[in-house]
Amino acid sequence: MSLSKRIKELEDDQLEEFVDIWAERKSKDYVKVERLGQANDKGRDVVGFVTSARHEGEWDLFQCKRKTLGSLLGLGEAMTELGKVFFHHVDGAYTTLPRRYVFVTPRGVEQSLKHLLEHPTKLQEALLANWDKYCRKKITAKKVIELTPEIRATIEAYEFKNVDCLTAPSIAKDAAARPALVQVLKELPGEAPEGHAPDDISDTEFAYLQQLRDVYSAAAGAPFSSFDEILADHRYGEGIKVHRTRFYEACAFRDFHRDNTDEKAVDVFKKDIYHLLFEVYNEAHPSLLDRVNAVMKHTGAHPAAILGRMARSPVKQGTCHHLVTDGKIRWSP
C-alpha cells in the first residue's frame, strides 16, 4: 500500500498523533509541539510553539480533518473552523493568532474551498460574508457568536496567505512523514545507509580509540605513541581501520533511526547489544585483544533488530564502541 494511501486511512486519533509527531519532526524551530484535539480545544488540534512565549508569541496551528472514503473537506466546515480561531482569540483564549493555519486533510478539499485557498483575499472576504451561515451558531453550542466589530477587524487584519492545506500526497513527499508512520502505524523503516570513516579522526572517536591503542600496545608489548603509528603497523593497522568503519556504521544507523523512527527505539537497540555481549565480555580472556575480538565475533554473528528490521554485523559491532564511549564497557583496564 502506498504511503499516501496509508495516510488517507488514518483514524481520527491516529491522524492527530501522526500530525503531532510529523509537526515535531517537520520544524526544528518549534520549542514545543502540543496535541490538543479534544472537547473545548478552542479550534486547535495540534500546535507548534515557535518560542517559549507560547500563545503570546508565534505559533502554528494544524487542524486535522479526517474525512470518510470519498469525502473531502468542504467550504462550510473549513469556515467554521477558521471562525473559531478568530472568536477564541478575541475572547482571550490566546493572545496571538497563529503564524500559519494549516488544514491537514488527507483526502483533500472540495473545489470551492481549494479555489479560495488559492486566492487568500477571497478566502478572507468569504469568511466575513458568510459568518452568519457558517459561524454564528456553529462555533459553540452554548451561545450565538455575532460578527462583532472587533472580530471583523481581527479577520480583516489577518494575512490569509498564511492559511493552507496539506493532503496525503503532499505529506507523503515530506521526509518527516516516515517517522510519524513508523510510530503510529508501526510501518517498518527503510534501510539505514552505510557509514564511512573520515580520513581524520574526530573527537567523538577519542574514547574508544584511546582504549584500543592501549589494547594494541599491550598486544605488541610496547606502547604506540600515536594512532598513525598503529595504522602503519602491519599487524594492527587494518584492525584500527575496520573498527573505525564499524563505529561510523553504527553512527549512520543511529542517526537514521533517530530521524526516521523513534529515538527510544535506538536506546533499546543499544541496550540489546549490551545484553548480547555481556557474558562474552565478562569471560576470562588470554589478553585484552582476545576479549575485543571475542566480543566483535559474538556480537556480529548474533541477530539484533530495531523495530523488526535486522541490523547488519558492522552496525552491531560498532555499537560496542558506542558503549565504550558511553562508559558502559571498557576495552582497556
User: In the prediction, which pLDDT does 134 show?
Assistant: 96
> Residue for cell digits 570513516?
197
For 34, 121, 166, the CA distances from 77, given in Å and listed in that order, are 23, 19, 16
User: In the prediction, which pLDDT does 70 show?
Assistant: 61
CB 163 within 8 A of CB 120: yes
Q: Residue 41: pLDDT above 70? A: no
Mean pLDDT computed over 30-54: 82
User: In the prediction, which pLDDT does 307 show?
Assistant: 76
Spelled out in words, what is the top-level CATH class assigned to the domain 3-185?
A: alpha beta
DSSP calls for 39-84: TT-TT-SEEEESSTTGGGS-EEEEEE----TT--B-HHHHHHHHHH
User: In the prediction, which pLDDT does 1 show?
Assistant: 58
pLDDT in tens, 93-125: 999 999 999 998 888 899 999 999 999 999 999
For residues 31 and 35, give the distance between their C-alpha atoms in angstroms, rounded to a whole number.
14
Helix (H) or strand (E) holding 288: helix 288-301
Confidence bin at 37 (pLDDT 50/70/90): low
Lowest mean pLDDT among 57-66, 73-82, 222-231, 313-322: 57-66
- Domains of the chain: which residue ranges? 3-185, 203-325
User: In the prediction, which pLDDT does 69 show?
Assistant: 57
pLDDT in tens, 132-189: 999 999 998 889 999 999 999 999 999 999 999 988 888 777 777 777 777 777 666 6
Confidence bin at 292 (pLDDT 50/70/90): very high
The 3 state secondary structure assigned to 95-128 is: CCCCCEEEEECCCCECHHHHHHHCCHHHHHHHHH
Helix (H) or strand (E) holding 238: helix 237-260
- Contacts (Cβ under 8 Å, ≥6 apart) of 247: 195, 197, 205, 208, 318, 321, 322
Other beta carbons within 10 angstroms of residue 34's beta carbon come to 16
Confidence bin at 312 (pLDDT 50/70/90): very high
What's the farthest any 2 CA atoms get from each other in the chain?
A: 89
User: In the prediction, which pLDDT does 330 show?
Assistant: 97
Q: What is the pTM assigned to this prediction?
A: 0.60
Strand partners, 46: 35, 62
Mean pLDDT, all residues of the chain: 89
User: In the prediction, which pLDDT does 178 show?
Assistant: 72
